[in-house]
């Protein structure tokens, strides 16, 4: 079995080694995926992948391509979902879903919601909450790895009003992810938009 893992590499996520431990060959790609890549893959997983996969390529895959997204979909589709969950005051969480032609809009395989109290020190900055969600999505994948790899899962359509953000929506004022969320929100909402 061959898995193409799009996005993060071995130094960034433990999931590649986890998949390899199941006797699956993993090819890690950061570049744009090609039709040739898709044809040789039994499964394709995207985590931290910054490129759009065309509808033609999606339809060419042997099975739905899986994406790991650090938001509680349908909220905060697109870029910087952790940041926008605090600015827009939407639910926080992680979602593993099938990729379709719309960004982060595919059927949900599994997701987990969290109540994050930013008044607590361990969740006080965007970086700390990001790191927490990163570990949690890895844990969620590990818990469901057998079902995902064997394509033996149920998925369901996203429900509710979606929110979405593009990379260019990120305020120029946000220079560092280590900034205190409460302080940043006060500044953010005091500026004219």
CATH architecture of 2-190: 3-Layer(aba) Sandwich (3.40)
User: pLDDT (tens digit, 9 = 90+) per residue, 78-132?
Assistant: 999 999 999 999 999 999 999 999 999 999 999 999 999 988 989 899 999 999 9
- Separation between Cα atoms, residue 177 and residue 54, nearest integer Å: 31
User: pLDDT (tens digit, 9 = 90+) per residue, 49-82?
Assistant: 999 999 999 999 999 999 999 999 999 999 999 9
- Separation between Cα atoms, residue 126 and residue 85, nearest integer Å: 10
What distances in angstroms separate CA 96 from CA 64, 127, 147, 183, one per listed residue? Answer: 12, 21, 12, 31
What distances in angstroms separate CA 98 from CA 107, 144, 177, one per listed residue? Answer: 5, 14, 28
Instruction: Say which DSSP state 191 is in.
Output: S
The reported pTM is 0.94
């Amino acid at each position: 079995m061959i898995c193409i893992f799009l996005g993060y590499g071995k130094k960034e996520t433990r999931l590649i080694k986890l998949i390899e431990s199941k006797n699956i060959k993993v090819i890690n790609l950061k570049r744009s995926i090609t039709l040739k890549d898709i044809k040789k893959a039994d499964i394709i997983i995207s985590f931290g992948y910054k490129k759009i996969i065309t509808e033609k390529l999606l339809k060419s895959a042997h099975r739905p391509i899986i994406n790991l997204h650090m938001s509680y979909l349908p909220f905060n589709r697109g870029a910087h979902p952790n940041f926008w969950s605090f600015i827009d005051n939407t639910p926080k969480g992680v979602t593993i879903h099938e990729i379709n032609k719309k960004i982060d809009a595919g059927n949900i395989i599994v997701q987990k919601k969290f109540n994050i109290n930013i008044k607590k020190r361990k969740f006080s900055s965007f970086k700390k909450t990001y790191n927490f969600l990163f570990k949690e999505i890895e844990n969620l994948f590990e818990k469901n790895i057998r079902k995902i790899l064997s394509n033996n899962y149920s998925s369901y359509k996203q429900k509710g009003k979606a929110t979405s953000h593009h990379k260019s929506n990120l305020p120029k004022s946000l220079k560092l992810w280590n900034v205190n969320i409460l302080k940043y929100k006060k500044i953010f909402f005091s500026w004219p938009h």
